[in-house]
Each structure stands twice: as structure tokens, then as C-alpha cells.
Amino acid sequence: MLTQILFFNTSHFAITVFTAFTFFAAGLLYLDSWQLDKKGKTPLLRSLGFFF
């Protein structure tokens, strides 16, 4: 019982960290694409959405 709780808690933490890193990377990519063409505001808003 205790080992199952430890395993599930650790796997939940790892999935959460991986998800946070994925959203952060997507936000950086959208921010970088916005810096190439600053006319459109959509990539800027999407990057802020991924960061939050």
C-alpha cells in the first residue's frame, strides 16, 4: 500500500513537471515566432496563454 502511494505520487509529479516543461517550450516557440513578425498579435497572446 505504501509503495503504491509512493509510486503514484512520484509518477504524478514527473508527469506534471513534463507537462509544465512542454507548455513552457511551446510558449517560447510562439514568442519567438511573434518576434519575427510583430504585425500579428495572435502568437503573442498564445505565448502568454501557454506561460500562464
Calpha distance 18→11 (Å, rounded): 10
Calpha distance 17→28 (Å, rounded): 16
Per-residue b/e over 31-44, b at no fewer than 16 CB within 10 Å? beebeeeeeeeebe
Span 1-40, pLDDT tens digits? 878 888 999 999 999 999 999 988 888 888 887 777 777 7
Strand residues in the chain grouped as ranges (E): none
At 1 the three-state DSSP class reads: coil
Please indicate, yes or no, whether the overall pTM of this predicted structure exceeds 0.75: no
